[in-house]
Every structure is written in C-alpha cells, then in structure tokens.
Structure 1
Amino acid sequence: MKKCFLVTGATGFLGSHVVKKLVAEGQNVVLLKRSFSNISRLASVMKNVKSYDIDKLDDFAQVFDDQHIDVIIHTATCYGRQGEAVEQIYDVNLHFPLKLLELALRFNTDTFFNTDTILSKYLNWYALSKKQFSEIGQQFAGQGKINFIDAKLEHMYGEDDANTKFVTYVIEKLQENIDELKLTKGEQCRDFIYVDDVVEAYWKILCNQNEDKKYQQYEVGTGKAVSIKELVTLAKSITKSQTRLAFGAVPYRENEIMDSKANIESLQKLGWQPRMDLEAGIRKIVGAGK
C-alpha cells in the first residue's frame, strides 16, 4: 500500500509521530504547518516530506492541485488550555477540518481519518467542537461521499509531549521536587495509552481499508482504566521524588468523568494490541528527561 497522505497538526505531539511512521513505511507524506511552527520533532524526516505553510496559502486547494491526496490524517487540535476564545477553538477543531473535508470531496480523496476524543461533548468547548466535526463527517460518509474514520482517543501520553498535558506536567513537577503537588482526590479513572501504541493503531486501521465509502468508529486506548491517584503515586515512586502529594486539595471540575476506558474489540479484531504498559511508559518519559 503506497499512498499520498496529508497530515494536519504534523509538528505537534501525535502528528509528528504519525508523520515519522508514514515515512518509515515508505509513504508519500504532505504536511500542513505554520511558517513559524517549531519543526524540531520532525527534524529527522523533513527532507522526506513535502510541506505547506498554511498561513501563506491563498487557497488550500493548491495542496490538492499539486498532488492527488489519497488520505487526510487530521491530528491538529486546540484544547483551549491557553485561554483561547471559543472562536479560536472552533477555527482549529471545526472550521479548518471542514475546509479540508470539502476539498477532499471535491478532489476525490478516498479517506478522511479524524482524531476525535472519547470525552463527552458537554465537558467543554474543545470536546463539543470535536464532536460536532465528527457528526459532520458521519453525515458525509452516510451519503456515500467519503470514507470517514473516527478515532476516539483516550488519555494519550509519551515523552516530548507538552507540559500542559497531565502526565507530562505531573512527572515534570515531581522531577523538580516541588514541595507540594496539589491534586484532586484522584478517584477518577482514565485509560492511559502510550503514543506509539496510538500510531500503531492508526496504521493498523489504515492497512485494513477497502474502497467502501462509510463511517467507521474506533475507540483507541488500552482497554484498562487506572485511577489518577494510582498513576501519580507510581510516577512519584519511579522519579524518587520528595514532593508531597496533596490529594483532595483541588476540587473536581464540573461534569468530571469518573471512569473512562476504551472498548478495543474492533481494534483487536484487526490484530492490534497495546504494547506499552503504564509503568514502562512512565519510565521511558523519565529516562528521556534526564
């Protein structure tokens, strides 16, 4: 299978791992980035890909005119954690991918692979905007216009992730040996999946596609839930930190999800299994930070 893949969010955490996987598999890769994007995560493969600066493009159609795009892999996202306005969140999570989806229909792109979230759409603007785009994709696929794959991610983590992400933040603070780390009670359970396992799941899904134009949904996680308290306690043990864990110092957020784990039966049927357990994943992050 050799195809031309267009990747959004390519300089980000997940996107960069996806790009490197595609390059390793000998695929043609086109990426979208901003002219001022930090490309350090892609330093080893930039010579093997074609890139476009979206802030300098007059029309996204140019990307599709220059080469036939077989598959779009959409990983770009805005979580709203940096104080972005709702309009900014929607620009990234809804308006931007919708432009690409309509171009995909116009230029006969076979597949749109969307990175969605497992979170309830009522949790925040990020989750709502992601769900709304997924519903649009499902509508187009239901009309037989495109193969739309919806990958609903659980809690992804890994080395080189942003320190605004929970696992990275906790490990960083523990390694700094701050006096006290204020946390919720930590009773909420999450399905933590290592980024390499996510990328392998994506690739396994892509390798099992046919020419049908339909909507497909996959939950991407390990299928196992671990409490926040257990994760943080494990991270403290691995880092040998002296930081005091202040569980209960922070209230649960409104509409907090107390238990979440992926149903991975559909991925298992494709022959995929997660390989990295939580302890090994945390040790890898800690080792990378030394």
Structure 2
Amino acid sequence: MRIVLTGPTGFLGSALARRWAADGHELLLLARPGSRTQRIDALLGESSTLSSSASSASSPSTTVRRIRLVRADGMEAAAQALRDFAPDAVVHTACAYGRAGETPLDVLDANLRLGTALLQAAAAVQGRSPVSFLNTGTVLSPEVSLYALSKTQFSAWGATLAGQQPERLRFIDLRLQQMYGAGDDRSKFTTHVIESCRRNEPRLALTAGEQRRDFIHIDDVVDAYDRVLAARDGFAAADAIEVGSGDAVRMRDFVELTRRLTGAATQLDFGAVPYRAHEAMLCVADTARLRGLGWVPRFDLEAGLRQTLAASSSPDTP
C-alpha cells in the first residue's frame, strides 16, 4: 500500500512509520524542514528500494524508493508531494499543541490549514478508489484550548469535504484518548509524571487528580491505526472511531501507580495546580467498534507502565 504519513518524526508518527515499514508498505513521510529525525533515523538508513511491480504492473523492472522523507517547506509543497505520490491512504498525525511558543496562527496553520490543503490534494488524486484520509482527532472539547478548537474544526472540515465528494475521498477521524509510552515528549502529562518519578524528583505539583482519563499504550494505538487502515473500505465517506483502552482511570491513581512502580520517594502534591478552565472530568473511549475490527489491547495500565519504564531505561529509546 502507498501511504502518506504526516508527523513522521513525532512520537505517534514514528511508531506508525516503523510498523508500516516493517510490513513492507511504500511510505512518503512528510516532515517540517526543521524536524529532528532521530526517531526514524534507523528507517532512513535502511535499504529503501523495492520493485515497482508492487505498485505498478506496467514497469516491473523499475525501482522506486520504499521509504522517502520529504521536508515540505509550506503547505503547497506538502500538497504537491502528496499529489505526485498518489497514495492509497493519508495518515495525518502532524499537529501543534501550542506548548512550544507557537502563536495562535501557527496552531491554526498546523492543525487546520495544513490538513485542509492535504485533503484537497488527496481528492485530486486520480484512482479507482477514494483516497482514505485517517485523521488523528481529539476527544477534548473545543473550549479547552486553541489546540482542541483547531483540531475539532479540522475534523468537521474533513467530514464535510469527504461527504461532498465520496467518490474521491474517505475521511476517518480517529478520536484518540490519552496515549503514553517510552520516548514520548516530556511536555506530555504522562511522560512528565513518569520521568519525574523515574528520576526520583523531590516534588511533583499536580491538580487534585480527580479527572478520569483513558490511558492507552502506544503499541495498542499503533495496532488500532493498523486495523482501521486495513478495514478502511468498510467505513463511510465521513466516519469516526474512538481509540482508547475503554477504561477510565483517575489521574491521581495513574500518578500513584507510577510512583509505586518506580519506587520513587517523590512527594505528590495533589491540589497544588488548579484545574484548567473547562477541564473535562471524564474521557473514555467506546471501543466496541474498534474491537469489532479484531483489535484487542495488549496492555492494561500497570503492564503498559512497566513496559514504558523498562524501555525508558534502555539506551536505544529514541
């Protein structure tokens, strides 16, 4: 399969790239010019050719790149690379959270305008089947942050555009819950807690921790995306599916479990940080549809945290 993957240097995107490269798919990895590639350097250093007979019966002796990284300088460059590649599917993981000094316009460009440019390019691809666009959506309410607002708006744009041209485009919104795993960004809540306890830091300032979240291990997320991609023809032109473990756990319990598993003496200062405005107190996925595709999670929370801690101690963790 020919797959365009955005955000390939990020935590989720790099994990998907490794899975699909191992499965033999032909990948076009779209990255920002300044993105650091340490998470995918091993892929880029591998032999990256395969006979085009896997994708074109007309010229079986020609070779094509199996994994190509394109540093797209702007939305039109990204859209043109997509059109030239003519994929079967686009998997969109690129985003801006607004936690790294991005302006509101930066967040809008990354989370709404870039995706819309790619949707438009995907709809222009000439093929017998519609291009499947798998979007990484959000479960957060739009009033929580500019990230949540822009991601929610893009999901609505994607559904509308696919509904207008179902013969050219299929839009599947994967509404992802609280993902965690070794090698994720320190700015994420889960990684911040895990690393603080793993390093036995003296104090960890927290909210009261009564929010309930659906924590899902990165390997289970990758399995879910792979199942949805394989079953894409069974989805409606504009569709959505929830991705999570199906269990709601108090953040307080997540933090206390992490401290217990690390053996840390870190003081957990619950209540030191106020809840953010419009804080969601319950987020949990309905996994019935995902399980109907044959997906079964490999990790409960304790097993996932144990795996994360073990992998985080490895020098090979990206």
Q: Which runs of structure 1 show a deviation greater than 4 angstroms over 4 or more consecutive aligned residues?
A: none
TM-score (structure 2 length as normaliser): 0.87
- Within a 5 Å distance, the mapping from 1:2-151 to structure 2 comes to 3-46=1-44, 47=46, 48=48, 49-55=67-73, 59-108=77-126, 110-143=131-164, 144=166, 145-151=168-174
2:4 touches 2:82 (CA, 8 Å); kept in 1?
no
Q: Runs of 5+ in structure 2 lacking a partner? A: 49-66, 314-318
Q: 1:81 is paired with a residue of what secondary structure? A: coil
State the Cα RMSD in Å. 1.7
Q: CA deviation at 1:254?
A: 0.9
Identity percentage over the alignment?
A: 41
Distance 2:249 2:99 in 1: 24
| Cα shift readout 1:125-169 (whole Å, capped 9, x = no counterpart) | 101100111101111122224110100000001000000011110
> Does 196-205 or 171-180 show the bigger shift?
171-180
AA at the equivalent of 1:120: S
Note the C-alpha offset of 1:289: 2.7
Alpha-carbon deviation of 1:61?
4.5
Partner SS state of residue 44, structure 1: helix
Query: How far is the alpha carbon of 1:211 from its aligned partner?
Result: 7.7
Instruction: Identify if the C-alpha distance between structure 1 residues 56 and 126 changes in structure 2 by more than 3 Å, giving closer, same or farther.
Output: closer
Aligned equivalents of 2:246 and 2:79: distance in 1? 39
Q: Is the 8 A contact 1:156 1:195 kept in 2?
A: yes
Q: Structure 1: which 5+ residue stretches go unaligned?
A: none
Residue equivalent to 2:197: 174
Which of 231, 242, 248 lines up with 1:225 in the alignment?
248
Measure how far apart 1:175 and its partner are: 2.1
| 1: CA distance, partners of 2:235 / 2:131 | 9
Measured in 2, the distance between the counterparts of 1:20 and 1:100 equals: 22
- Partner Cα separation in structure 1 for residue 235 and residue 269 of structure 2: 52
Letter in 2 for 1:104: A
Whole-angstrom CA distance in 2 between matches of 1:60 and 1:240: 46
Contact 1:146/1:213, CA 8 A, preserved across alignment: no
